Amino acid sequence: MTLRTRFFLSFSALITVALLGLLLGVVSVLRMAQTQEGLIQNSFATIDLSQRLRTSFGDQLTIMLREKPDMKALRASQEKFRNLLEESLDFEDRSDREGFERIEKVYSEFLVILDKANPAEGGVNNDNTVSQAFNLVRQQMLDVQQVAINKVSMAEAQARDRAKLIALLLSLLGVAVLLIGVLTAQSIARRFGTPIEALAKAADKIGQGDFDVILPVSSVSEMALLSSRFGVMADALRQLKETDVDALVASQKRLQAVLDSIDDGLVIIDEYGLIEHANPVAIRQLFWEHDLLGKSFGSVINRPELDDAVSLVLSGKQLEQIPEDLLIETAGEKRLLAWALTPVHHNDGRTVGAVMVLRDVTEQRAFERIRMEFVLRASHELRTPVTGMHMAFSLLQERLKFGPDSREADLIRTVDEEMARLVQLITDLLNFSRYQNGLQKLERAPCDLHELIGQTQQRFAAKASEREIDIVVEVLEPLTEVNIDRQQIERVLDNLIGNALRHSISGSEIQVQARRHGERLIISVQDYGEGIDFSQQARIFEPFVQIGKRKGGAGLGLALCKEIVQLHGGRISVYSRPGKGSQFYMALPI
């Protein structure tokens, strides 16, 4: 028998018993309600009729007690009383009819006594016989009314007793259904629980890698089918394990060999921020001598801020600034390590770890320092003589008189322009060297952004008008005054807008926007020119790098911009698509 059939028969029996009990209870309640309703209606009809009889009889008494009774009104009231008594003939209850018959009998006797007392002359006032007959009629009506009230009370008591009986029967039926259900559930649990528990134990063994399991045998077809399929799955997993374990081990060894052969240091961090693996290069770079797996990177090299950076990356965010080099010192040797932290994402998008790449830049930084010292010294040495030469040539140019269209005048203008470019190049080299060596200091002061960006727009208005380019400025509220070095930020804006003009096509526009984002000020310059190739975007802020078709200057402008923004504690970046334009933006702390 199938599992579905067993469940169907078991629950069908329970539902049938419950429905029969419910049907019996409903029928009993309906019959009880119908009987009680009829009895109560008859009783209330009796009470109503007796009440009207008492009212009519009271009207007769009122008429008779007057000094001059109105006999016509008395006869009408007596006729009304008899008509009310005739209504009692329609009652189905025999006891009610008998009660009204007794009322009719004593009322007839009352009328005989009343006629003898001559009510028209007021003779009933002091007649005890009339009073006794009146009280007898009144008492008989009260008795009929009391009997009806007692019937209502009795009907309520009977209904209460019957309701208790029905409730008791339904309770017994519920207990019986509960017992049957418990017995049925126990039988089903005993019949199906044992093989299911056996399958669960077999699954635990398979999960632990033990595929030699004993599967249960059941008379239920579904359980037997499940057990059979479970055995097939165990065999398939056994074969899969036997065939894939070697391949998996080989793959892990290849991956381990690749990681260990990388020239840079590599540290793998798990989702909890702890070291999971480090290749030999990283171990040598960090001078690790002990097993440090399972520890945080910051605690190992005594740099707690690195743990903050790891937590930031694991939370799905990016580092706001390029990280500073790590200074590692052991046994009198100092090494500088450049590092980068990259999150590792699962297919569902969650971050499951991070990879830290370490590169020894000790020699590179030493070379860069020597180079910058040379540039700084050369700039200082060249600035004075070149500036003097330019001034001397300017004086010579004022004394030489050539025609404006002559060859000599053209050569003089060319020499003057090239000397001016040489002076500017030396100035840029000197400024860049000062930034690189930390000699440049900021002069912060409150600055109105509307005024700053508006004046920058005016400085480039003439050049933009010549090329029919519209510079659109948008300062989004609320923006208060910010504490910056205005002259340095003006230099950044001049460089960004100048580059945008140089690489924009005629008839296009340049958008300059300033807005607040959290605790940072975002200033962006957007053009719709030729854009920047993706391969060149990573090098665009390096010194002496020129990209694009329209080149000019020495390639120090964006490098200076980067140094100025970083000196303010911010960062500068670019978003560009070739052929669609570029957007340079800087984020400054407010």
For the chain, 590 residues long, give each residue's pLDDT as a single digit of tens.
Answer: 555 666 566 667 667 766 776 777 677 667 766 766 666 777 777 777 777 777 877 777 777 777 677 778 878 887 888 887 777 666 666 766 777 778 778 878 777 777 776 666 655 556 677 777 777 877 877 877 777 777 777 777 777 777 788 778 878 877 887 787 777 777 766 766 677 777 777 777 777 667 666 666 666 666 667 777 767 777 776 776 666 666 666 777 777 777 777 778 888 888 888 888 888 888 887 777 667 788 888 888 888 888 888 888 888 777 766 677 888 876 677 888 888 888 888 888 788 888 888 888 888 878 877 877 777 677 777 777 878 888 888 888 777 777 777 887 888 888 888 888 788 778 777 777 777 777 778 889 999 888 899 999 999 999 999 999 999 999 887 776 888 999 999 999 999 999 999 889 888 999 999 998 888 899 999 999 888 888 788 788 887 777 665 555 567 888 889 989 988 889 899 998 888 899 999 999 88
pLDDT, position 415: 82
Structure tokens at 188: 């089903």
Sign of the four-CA dihedral 458, 462, 465, 469 = negative
Contact predicate 137/110, CB 8 Å:
yes
Q: What is the dotted CATH code of the domain comprising 262-360? A: 3.30.450.20
DSSP 538: T
CATH of domain 445-589: 3.30.565.10
Can you give the pLDDT at residue 244?
62
How many angstroms separate the Cα of 327 from the Cα of each of 324, 330, 361, 373, 543? 9, 10, 10, 21, 24
Give the start-end residues of each E strand in 464-580.
470-475, 482-484, 509-517, 520-527, 571-577
Residue 49 to residues 38, 108, 138, 176, 290, Cα–Cα distance (Å): 16, 18, 14, 50, 110
Angle (CA) 127 130 131, round 5°: 85
In a 13 Å sphere around the CA of 150, the CA atoms on its Cβ side amount to 8
Q: How far, in Å, CA of 121 to CA of 110, rounded?
A: 18
Contact 337, 358 (CB under 8 A): yes
Is residue 585 within 8 Å of residue 522, measured between CB atoms? yes
**For 366-436, which CATH class?**
mainly alpha
d(CA 207, CA 304): 40
The distance in angstroms from the start CA to the end CA of the chain is: 77
Give the separation between CA 183 and CA 288, rounded to whole angstroms: 68
| Long-range contacts, 330-335 (Cβ 8 Å, 24+) | 330/287, 331/287, 334/362, 335/285, 335/360, 335/362
Residue pointed to by tokens 């001559």: 118
Q: Which residues contact 482 (CB under 8 A, 6 or more apart)?
A: 446, 447, 449, 521, 588, 590
Amino acid symbol at 82: R
**Bond from prior residue into 280 cis (ω within 30 degrees of 0):** no
pLDDT of 565: 92
Cα–Cα distance measured from residue 164 to residue 362, given in angstroms and rounded to the nearest whole number:
97
For the chain, the structural domain boundaries read: 3-181, 262-360, 366-436, 445-589
pLDDT at 486: 92
Assess contact for 485 and 568: CB atoms under 8 A.
Answer: yes
pLDDT for res 368: 73
Fold of 3-181: Four Helix Bundle (Hemerythrin (Met), subunit A) (1.20.120)
The span from the CA of 79 to the CA of 533, in Å, is 120
Contact 124, 130 (CB under 8 A): yes
Contacts of residue 571, Cβ cutoff 8 Å, sequence gap at least 6: 320, 321, 322, 565, 586, 587
Distances (CA, A) of 24 to 32, 123, 160, 498: 12, 67, 17, 96
